[in-house]
Amino acid sequence: VLSLMAPWSEPINITRIWCVFEKYVALAKGHKFDVIMPEEEDAKFQEALETTGMQPIWDLFFKVDIQKAQATAETDRRNILHLVDPDLPEDNLELYSNSCARINASVVYRLQQWFVKQALESIQQREEAGDPIPMKAYVNVAWLLSQQRNDEKTW
């Protein structure tokens, strides 16, 4: 599965039920799950890494919620949710579900891993090229690493 991070700061696919479900199935089945970002979005990511930081994207990931995700066809949404948790009541598909919470956590964790990896690789490439790196970029990467560690304890 290939996940497109566009726009990087609010990826649309994390709000779509088919996209969230496909990411989860890929993870659950051990299939490759990769993330890509268009060049213009990568440039914005790099700028944020050097200036404002990653808090907005980290916060956004906690909004991943398969039960609130959108579908073009409501029947698709209902079918996916019943596949994920057959015990969800038809008249209350947003009732808390451990199965749905596990899906959300799996997808979020993988996306967070990708962002941390991208940030680290960005710093490493710039160091190898001898390019100047603003101290804020190092601070933001350290923040990402600390957040990932904190979230690993939570999951």
CA distance 117 to 127: 15
Per-residue pLDDT reduced to its tens digit, 32-83: 989 999 999 999 999 999 998 888 888 888 889 999 999 999 999 999 999 9
Non-local (6+) Cβ contacts of 72 within 8 A are none
Per-residue pLDDT reduced to its tens digit, 123-132: 999 999 999 9
Q: How confident is the model at residue 151 (pLDDT cuts 50, 70, 90)?
A: low
Question: Where do runs of H (alpha helix) occur along the chain?
Answer: 17-29, 39-50, 55-61, 74-84, 98-129, 135-154
